[in-house]
Amino acid sequence: MTGEQLYQTACAACHGRDGKGQPESVVGFDTPLPDFTDCAFTTPEADLDWSSVVHMGGRARALDRRMPAFGEALSGLEIDNVIHHLRSFCAEPSWPRGELNFPRPFFTEKAFPENEAVLTVAMTRRPEVAVDPQFLFEHRIGKRAQYEINVPLAFHRDIGGTWSRGVGDVNLALKYALYDSLSRGLIVSAGGEATLPTGSESKGLGTGTPIFEGFGMLGKALPGAGFVHVHAGFEAPYDADVAGKAVFLRSAVGKTFAVRGWGRAWSPMFEVLAARSFGAPTDWDLVPQLQVSLSGLQHVLLNVGLRIPVQQPLSRSKTMMVYLLWDWFDGGLLSNWRTR
């Protein structure tokens, strides 16, 4: 049987022949059914997520138990054919696919446009104690664009024991996916960012001048669930007497391991960071890290890492990094941790 025949036989009773979902009066329960014709809903999910739910039912991703498991009734090839047919309900092929949405490193920006909220905390102990939380909000615009707002906070204690705290320089950014190819496992984006001088310069929490940034990003799938990110750009301050021009290059490589193929996901990553201000030597940093999915839906993720300076270890100390990521488009922060 073709994927369409299998879908009409096994799936259409609930999901509808057109993929829009049958009404409550037909299915007999009030759980909302997904609309497979909604490209914004269907395209961000990788085939692995769809396959796990078809194989194991709703419990595979902490969804409703009414979604049955077909792993014993259908072969792997038949399930792949059904998923291929499900993909056909999205009539706009220009949406980048979820297979190109690779795990997020700490510093190397992803090329994939996302709907995420990320709370990151960086902690250092010398020469002063510093705890620097920052909250990042990302919102996708249509098929290929995304805007983001980053609000940094700072809690610093100097050698004399005096604390300074406050808001740092707020960042506003926009990026756009220029090219994507599922067959090549490749996505390329570009964008710009403006850093506003909202932080107190006297407290060491801001630069004192607006800074404008242009950047490009690339994401590439590697064999065996591996991936690589590349992120490069330049920074140009409004007042060159206050801050200097700079260029940067960031890259990350990693691989995802899933328990039993589609369970909890573990993604070890390794970042290499290079930044150079004009007239100064290049600063190099290494950032080993490990990301793990926390929720059953895998829309809440934790990442832990360590930023290690390559040169000048006395003046540039190691930084402990932690982030909590919430893909808010997939579900509420506290929802879909357990099967309903």
Euclidean distance between CA atoms 287 and 289, whole angstroms: 6
Taking residues 281-293, what's their average pLDDT?
A: 96
Three-class SS state of 9? helix
Tokens 């072969």, residue located? 75
What does the alpha-carbon distance between residue 231 and residue 321 come to, in Å, rounded to a whole number?
19
**Highest mean pLDDT of the ranges 147-161, 185-199, 308-322:** 185-199
DSSP-based three-state secondary structure for 119: strand
Q: Which two tokens stand for residue 329?
A: 């488009």
Whose CA is closest to 331, among 126, 94, 32? 32
Architecture of the domain made up of 3-87: Orthogonal Bundle (1.10)
* CATH architecture of the domain formed by 98-326: Beta Barrel (2.40)
Name residue, tokens 């049955």.
68
| Dihedral pair phi/psi, residue 177, rounded to 5° | -80, 110
User: Alpha-carbon distance 207 to 233, whole Å?
Assistant: 19
**Whether the Cβ atoms of residue 132 and residue 320 lie closer than 8 Å to each other:** no
Question: Structure tokens of 304?
Answer: 């832990």
Give residue 149's Cα distance to chain centre: 14
Look at residue 206 in the predicted model and tell me its pLDDT: 84
Topology agreement, domain 3-87 and domain 98-326: no
Q: How confident is the model at residue 314 (pLDDT cuts 50, 70, 90)?
A: low
**For the chain, percent of residues with pLDDT exceeding 90:** 80
Q: Residue 228, CB half-sphere, CA atoms under 13 Å: how many?
A: 7
- Residue 73 tokens, joined: 């009734």
Average the pLDDT over 301-311 and give the result. Answer: 95
In contact, 156 and 165? CB cutoff 8 Å: yes
DSSP states along 283-297 = EEEEEEEEEEE-STT
161 pLDDT above the threshold of 80: no
Enumerate the domain spans of the chain: 3-87, 98-326
| Torsion region of 195: left, alpha or beta (phi above 0 gives left; psi -120 to 50 gives alpha) | beta
Write the CB contacts of 89 (distance below 8 Å, at least 6 apart in sequence): 18, 19, 36, 37, 42
- CA 202, distance to chain mean position in Å, is 34
Range 53-62 average pLDDT:
92
Quick one: tokens of 3? 């994927």
Cα–Cα distance between 217 and 251 in angstroms, integer?
10
Q: What is the pLDDT of residue 309?
A: 93
Q: Is the pLDDT of residue 128 over 90?
A: no
Is the per-residue pLDDT at 315 higher than 80?
A: no
What is the C-alpha separation between 253 and 273, in angstroms, rounded? 12
Residue 340 has pLDDT above 80, yes or no: no
Residue 49 · residue 98 · CB < 8 Å: yes
Higher pLDDT, 160 or 218: 218
3-state helix, strand, coil in the chain (%, to 5): 15, 40, 45
Structure tokens at 129: 């104690």
DSSP 114: -
Q: Dihedral of the CA atoms 167, 169, 170, 171 (nearest 10)?
A: -150
Task: Report d(CA 287, CA 271) in Å as an integer.
Answer: 5
Cis before residue 197, ω within 30 degrees of 0?
no
